[in-house]
Amino acid sequence: MGKIGLIIWREYWTRVRNKTFIVMSILGPLLIAGFFTFMVWLPNADKTTQKIMVIDESGVVKQNKIPDNEFIKFYYPEITYDEACKTFQEADFTCILHINNSENVAVAAIVELFYKKSPGFSTENYIKSQLESKFYEFQLASNNIDPNVIKNARRPVTLATKKMDESGNAVDSKHEDVMFIGFFCGVLIFMFVIIYGMQVMRGVMEEKTNRIVEVIVSSVKPFQLMMGKIIGVAMVGLTQFIIWVILSTVLTTASSAMIFNKIMDDAGKLQNNKEIVYKQGSNLNAEQLEKMSSKMEAIEVIQHLKTINFTEVLVCFLIYFLGGYLLYSALFAAIGSAVDSEADTQQFMMPVMLPLILGYVMSINFIQNPESNLAFWGSMIPFTSPIVMMVRLPFGVPLWQIALSVTFLIAGFIFTTWIAAKIYRTGILMYGKKITWKELGKWMFYKG
């Protein structure tokens, strides 16, 4: 094993035995699985059933009552508004919905909602949308227009997007529904590059301030020491990522399989029901149709997930993670060698991290427009390509663009490593001096 190999092994072995590494390798997947479980559970968590007393002086809602849902129930007692107000505090109702008796109620309805505790935005929005629908139907009926005719005219439209290749063949392009996968991978790369790049910088600073590096460079060249640190920490990051993938897969497979199988079992039933409802003509229930359509959309998203080539995504993720990490960690190592304390790194960190942050910000916009010229160049420039290309991948990127992007990324890594090595070999033995950008520029051109 050569000198670089010994340094790589030392950096790798000392870090993977660290208690923090072991704890985070186990805790990370648990936190990720817990986060997604929490996001699924949150919408229905601690939901209070709203029992709403409706005092309808207009008579519109009494004729066509607002439908209940899982968390909102409507009641229509035969009492006046004054009587409702007097008994409200002692009653079991949570709200009073008061609809004034306006002569032109369908045009300008005056509605008041009184509550003991705030019912929340979702409840208010549901009541508002339902009332608008009821008054709309009332006005149609007042003008001798059958509301069922309007309902029957509504049809959900499924837009099947297909990409036409150069040979004229149409290929399904469904990855827009699961674009969050590319964005999530880009965010992971952003996080990993910063976390492990900072580890390289702190490791260099620690050896420099403890004067250990003076002993080490007597046996190895500064470039060998820098490369050993960079590659060693990269192997630590890959090890932790592989552990995360394995544990996350184990944690999510059972639960996701149960959820997906249940949803997919309902897919055929929902499709059949939708076709039956379409054939019912005037008996079409628009609200039922909307619920079925929303469920079908969720099922289609799950089906689209199965069309994604996750092997391609994983391979590209590893390539761009390694390329982005190697590119930026060389610069982080150069910063660590040039300063004596972490407080001195601030003036150098922002210019280095700015392209990475810019790539993250740009990727948010590229989700909406993944094939723009700016998105193309963002996925080619080595400083932003690790994040931007991952965002574009689910939309379908030609192989030549991926190959060109990876080539530029490798060239960028070689270039930044060359610059970092120039700074590293001088700065690693420099103590007690405040370094400026002008000084760093001089170090790049030192010979020897």
What is the DSSP track for 297-334? HHHHHHHHHHHS-HHHHHHHHHHHHHHHHHHHHHHHHH
The answer to whether residue 407 sits within a structural domain is yes
Give the closest residue to 367 by CA, choosing from 354, 357, 378, 356.
378
Average pLDDT over residues 117-145: 83
Amino acid sitting at position 98: H
Q: How many domains does the chain have?
A: 2
| Per-residue pLDDT tens digits for 84-100 | 999 898 888 989 999 88
pLDDT at site 281: 44
Average pLDDT over residues 373-383: 91
> 139: pLDDT confidence band, cut at 50, 70 and 90?
confident
Distance CA 269, CA 265 (A): 8
Average pLDDT over residues 56-75: 84
- Clarify whether residues 249 and 391 are in a common domain: yes
Domain boundary among 145, 169, 192: 145
Angle between the N-to-C axes of helices 222-278 and 286-307, in degrees from 0 to 180, rounded to the nearest 10: 140
- Clarify whether residues 260 and 136 are in a common domain: no
116 pLDDT more than 70: yes
Average pLDDT over residues 11-37: 81
- Clarify whether residues 199 and 329 are in a common domain: yes
The answer to whether residue 263 sits within a structural domain is yes
Average pLDDT of the residues of the chain: 77
pLDDT at site 260: 52
* Residue the block writes with tokens 């227009």: 145
- Clarify whether residues 60 and 201 are in a common domain: no
- Clarify whether residues 15 and 55 are in a common domain: no
Task: State the first-to-last Cα distance of the chain, in angstroms, to the nearest integer.
Answer: 27
> 426: pLDDT confidence band, cut at 50, 70 and 90?
confident
Average pLDDT over residues 138-150: 78
Angle at 19 between CA 16 and CA 22, to 5 degrees: 60
> 183: pLDDT confidence band, cut at 50, 70 and 90?
confident
The answer to whether residue 167 sits within a structural domain is no
DSSP string, 393-439: GGG---HHHHHHHHHHHHHHHHHHHHHHHHHHHHHTT--S----HHH
Query: How many other β-carbons are positioned within 10 Å of the β-carbon of residue 281?
Result: 9
411 pLDDT more than 70: yes
285 pLDDT more than 50: no
User: Which one is predicted more confidently, 205 or 385?
Assistant: 385
Domain boundary among 122, 145, 168: 145
- Clarify whether residues 17 and 108 are in a common domain: no
- Clarify whether residues 117 and 182 are in a common domain: no
The answer to whether residue 154 sits within a structural domain is no
312 pLDDT more than 90: no
- Clarify whether residues 65 and 203 are in a common domain: no
The answer to whether residue 168 sits within a structural domain is no
252 pLDDT more than 60: yes
> Could you tell me the pTM of the whole model?
0.65
Average pLDDT over residues 16-32: 82
Average pLDDT over residues 22-46: 71
pLDDT at site 279: 47
Residue 72, φ and ψ in degrees, nearest 5: -130, 125
- Clarify whether residues 360 and 229 are in a common domain: yes
Distance CA 244, CA 239 (A): 9
Written in H, E and C, the secondary structure of 159-171 is CCCEEECCCCCEE
- Clarify whether residues 104 and 182 are in a common domain: no
34 pLDDT more than 90: no
Cα pseudo-dihedral 202, 207, 210, 216, rounded to 10: 180
Domain residues for the domain of 105 are 50-145
Average pLDDT over residues 187-215: 82
- Clarify whether residues 66 and 95 are in a common domain: yes
pLDDT at site 422: 83
User: Which one is predicted more confidently, 164 or 145?
Assistant: 145
pLDDT at site 62: 79
- Clarify whether residues 334 and 361 are in a common domain: yes
Query: How many other β-carbons are positioned within 10 Å of the β-carbon of residue 2?
Result: 10
The answer to whether residue 239 sits within a structural domain is yes
The answer to whether residue 42 sits within a structural domain is no
pLDDT at site 109: 61
Give the closest residue to 421 by CA, choosing from 236, 204, 211, 219.
204
Q: Which range in 258-262, 400-404, 424-428 is most confidently predicted, on average pLDDT?
A: 400-404
Question: CATH no. for residue 79?
Answer: 3.40.190.10
The answer to whether residue 322 sits within a structural domain is yes
User: Which one is predicted more confidently, 376 or 214?
Assistant: 376
